[in-house]
Amino acid sequence: MDLSRRNFLSAGTALVGGAALSSRAAIAWMADETKADYTVTIATQPIELAPNRIVSVTAYNGQFPAPLLRFKEGVRVTVDVHNDTDTPEQLHWHGQSIPSEVDGAAEEGTPFIPPHGSRRISFVPRPSGFRFYHTHVRAGADLSLGQYSGLVGPVYIEPKNNPGRYDREVFLTLKEFQPTFSRGGDMDMDFLSPSATVKELKDTGESAMKASLAKGMPKGYEVGYDAFTINGRMLGHGDPVRVKQGERVLFHVLNGSAGEIRSLALPGHTFLVVAMDGNPLPKPVRVPGLWIGTAERISAIVEMNHPGVWVMGDTGDDDRRHGMGIVVEYAGHSGKPQWIAPHPFHWNYAHFGPADAHTPTPDEVIDMTFAKDNAALDGFNRWTINGVSYPLKQMMAAPAFHLKRGKRYRLRMRNASDDIHPIHLHRHTFELTRIAGQATSGVLKDVVMVGGYQETEIDFTADNPGMTLFHCHQQLHMDYGFMSLFDYV
Ligand SMILES: [Cu+2]
């Protein structure tokens, strides 16, 4: 009896429906299925960020970052997820086009992994490229939950053919620990280009803030951190990236933060960006350094042609001094790692797409305005999309946007707040079509930073029916209303 894995699974479905399958075949099938391809255990334990710097965090399989999971595009996998904590969990497969049932968002209807319980999930990984997995529960005011924890790890889906020309791959996960609340300051957004803001959005946002402060409201809570790490170790306390002169190293960089935007530079070297959010660029683009929004990924080749011992780190001095960096050490070189600040550089998504931007006309344009209601919820900012805040206590809310399968949609996102929002669309890949007034095309992503008082447009095809969550990837923003649901009609 020659049944492929896929046939087995459909046979299994048929079995539930009462179709005949000999008991011997059924037992063989069950035996085949008793061991999952991957087992992920969620538990809380101490993690050492540096000598004498031990934090208690919830993590996958007792480690941070979680183990790199390598899948093959189109080859079904089963994953057993055990939850050894006291709170329900969700494991989200970020950047994959999979059904809502296994996507890992309660808002879409994915069942929770119960406290001290398990769930077996099965899906066909796609599309190929650098993805990741992370928890998708709301943390609210509990800074031990959600992405404030260590529940983050890289996923790499091998393409059917791999044309890469590089000597080796290095995965870097950037993540802060020891979060605390503070009363908000202003977010630095000088790095985004174009810098053009929309007057109407600025007027709306500034007058709302002025009115709130005039009523005696303080600024809403923000989250800050004490410890900064790459691959779970503070700068100087992890294994260096050991390289040889002339080597081409492909770095897969993941911003696993709960809400921070990161930068990364390596003195004397440049980055040849080959993919964003795991999706190959139309043409690789060379940049002096990287800016990476929450949940974004960048794959970039660094040619090792400047021997020495270097700090590859965040350009923010304070964050780097508190650990956000990793040592790059050339063979035959030793000594104290050197940091040289790069010239400030801007980040313009449109630089990564072809100049002659041309994209198909969408079937429909959906307008969305993002707004902040300062300190409106017990001191936390409340967030709205078109005036609607996602209900705090409810998992599945009524979908705000209805899609038709096969149609191409344009989301015209207008940010009436001064914060940068890393906007994420579940279960789909979108194309950047306009960044702060500049037309672009060909850059495929699943997260995009929308600058303060700016307008950004993304296009996507409704090709994966089912409930689809749209949200800001800052944990603090999504938890306080910055979410919306799409459904397909
Ligand atoms: Cu946000």
- Tens of pLDDT, residue by residue over 120-158, are 999 999 999 999 999 999 999 999 999 999 999 999 999
DSSP 3-state of 282: strand
Q: What is the mean pLDDT of the chain?
A: 92
> How many angstroms does the Cα of residue 483 sit away from the middle of ligand 1?
10
- Reference 425, options 469, 394, 390; nearest CA is 469
In this prediction, residue 3 has a pLDDT band, given cuts at 50, 70 and 90, of very low
Residue 450's pLDDT is: 98
Q: Tell me how far apart the alpha carbons of residues 235 and 258 are, in angstroms, rounded to a whole number.
A: 20
Does the pLDDT of residue 27 top 90, yes or no?
no
> How many angstroms does the Cα of residue 394 sit away from the middle of ligand 1?
20
> How many angstroms does the Cα of residue 156 sit away from the middle of ligand 1?
26
C-alpha distances in Å from residue 70, one per residue of 156, 165, 167, 340, 369: 5, 19, 18, 35, 38
> How many angstroms does the Cα of residue 179 sit away from the middle of ligand 1?
17
Residue 17's pLDDT is: 32
> How many angstroms does the Cα of residue 295 sit away from the middle of ligand 1?
12
Residue 160's pLDDT is: 77
| Mean pLDDT for the stretch of residues 334-354 | 95
C-alpha distances in Å from residue 23, one per residue of 223, 271, 438: 56, 58, 63
In this prediction, residue 159 has a pLDDT band, given cuts at 50, 70 and 90, of confident
Q: Tell me how far apart the alpha carbons of residues 274 and 487 are, in angstroms, rounded to a whole number.
A: 33
Residue 382's pLDDT is: 98
Q: Tell whether pTM > 0.85.
A: yes
> How many angstroms does the Cα of residue 164 sit away from the middle of ligand 1?
34
Residue 4's pLDDT is: 36
C-alpha distances in Å from residue 391, one per residue of 29, 101, 221, 414, 480: 43, 21, 19, 21, 8
> How many angstroms does the Cα of residue 477 sit away from the middle of ligand 1?
5
Judge contact between 226 and 178, C-beta under 8 A: yes
| Mean pLDDT for the stretch of residues 39-43 | 98
